């Protein structure tokens, strides 16, 4: 693997198997391949994160607003979830200027949620519309995971992360009930002639699990922390928390109509199937997104949700959006399809 500057001898053959088993055919990176062939420090990586991340966030936000028929000046609140870099002023402050939001628009940055940020951030955006039913909330999930790859880190965790993670962003416009009565609508749900109604959301933080997943910040940047126990945790411990969330809706893992699950990796999806009880066919959209885009961290579940809608969802059917992240934590969100 000379292209990554590694010389590991026989141990490389064992570590490199994770690339063969990742189930990924294509990934997208913010920077060209040549950029990664030179060692980069934290400052240079983070400068790239802010520059390229803002450009990507602006692009997806502009596309989202155009699809919804909403101008930036009509947005009341902007929420940005991102964990692969640092920025102060925070990213959404820059985006207020770049997108043309009102100077009085509310701003909420979410950092540290990792892969769970897409679900948690969407739930927070909905909560803001519950507090202000007239509000339009723009939610953006943005990650440039490739900027965290560290050449001199030969750990299994870094190899797994390097084989799975990629860059991406997604944007969602969430409209309160009052805003909907005034004619606003969001892009999620345009596919298949349905819109999505929020039913409920819940997070679950497992005690004493902060060493399962996260970052260690060193002079080179963000060093990935990735426990090999994650698939086992999903297999053994997720189902009771999911059952508790679904019970008030008279649902079980096997009776949910559709799943928009953050795929994580192949072993995590197997754990969802065998340990949690998610039907294998329901994992098709997650597998497709992983295969075509890799693990983009927080935006990934929103890509999966869009794929579910494109495949066809009938009014009255329910979709569970779920992801796992640092903490170690699970985030669940349930939506219903309604006719437009």
From 48, 64, 115, 145, active-site residue: 115
Does the annotation mark 115 as catalytic? yes
Q: How far is 189 from 192, CA to CA, in rounded Å?
A: 7
315, 339 contact by CB (below 8 A): yes
What residues have CB less than 8 Å from 4, skipping those under 6 apart?
36, 151, 162
Cα Rg of the chain (Å, integer): 20
Residue 261, strand partner residues:
322
Q: How far is 99 from 63, CA to CA, in rounded Å?
A: 11
Write the DSSP assignment of 156-185 as a string of letters.
HHHHHHHHHB-EEEEEEEEE-HHHHHTT--
205 CB burial (10 A radius; 0-12, 13-18, 19+): middle
Q: How far is 82 from 168, CA to CA, in rounded Å?
A: 11
Active site positions, annotated: 115
């Amino acid at each position: 693997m000379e292209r990554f500057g590694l010389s590991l001898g026989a141990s490389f053959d064992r570590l490199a198997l994770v690339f063969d088993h990742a189930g990924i055919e294509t990934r997208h990176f913010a920077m060209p391949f040549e950029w990664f062939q030179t060692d980069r420090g934290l400052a240079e990586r983070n400068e790239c994160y802010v520059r390229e991340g803002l450009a990507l966030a602006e692009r997806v936000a502009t596309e989202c607003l155009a699809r919804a028929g909403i101008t930036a000046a009509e947005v009341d609140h902007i929420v940005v979830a991102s964990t692969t870099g640092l920025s102060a002023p925070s990213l959404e402050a820059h985006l207020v200027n770049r997108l043309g939001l009102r100077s009085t628009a509310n701003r909420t940055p979410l950092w540290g949620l990792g892969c769970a940020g897409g679900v948690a951030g969407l739930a927070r955006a909905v909560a803001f519309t519950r507090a202000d039913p007239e509000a339009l909330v723009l939610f953006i999930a943005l990650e440039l995971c490739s900027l965290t790859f560290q050449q001199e880190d030969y750990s299994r965790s870094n190899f797994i992360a390097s084989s799975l993670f990629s860059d991406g962003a997604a944007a969602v416009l969430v409209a309160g009930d009052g805003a909907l009565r005034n004619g606003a609508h969001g892009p999620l749900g345009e596919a298949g002639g349905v819109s999505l109604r929020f039913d409920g959301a819940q997070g679950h933080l497992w005690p004493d699990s902060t060493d399962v997943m996260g970052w260690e910040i060193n002079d080179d940047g963000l060093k990935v922390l990735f426990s090999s126990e994650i698939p086992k945790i999903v297999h053994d411990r997720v189902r009771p928390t999911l059952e508790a969330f679904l019970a008030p809706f008279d649902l079980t893992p096997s009776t949910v109509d559709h799943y928009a699950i953050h795929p994580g990796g192949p072993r995590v999806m197997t754990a969802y199937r065998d340990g949690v009880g998610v039907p294998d066919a329901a994992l098709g959209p997650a597998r497709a997104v992983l295969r075509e885009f890799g693990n983009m961290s927080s935006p990934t579940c929103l890509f999966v949700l869009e794929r579910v809608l494109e495949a066809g969802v009938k009014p009255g059917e329910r979709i569970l959006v779920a992801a796992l992240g640092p903490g170690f934590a699970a985030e669940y969100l349930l939506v219903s399809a309604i006719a437009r």
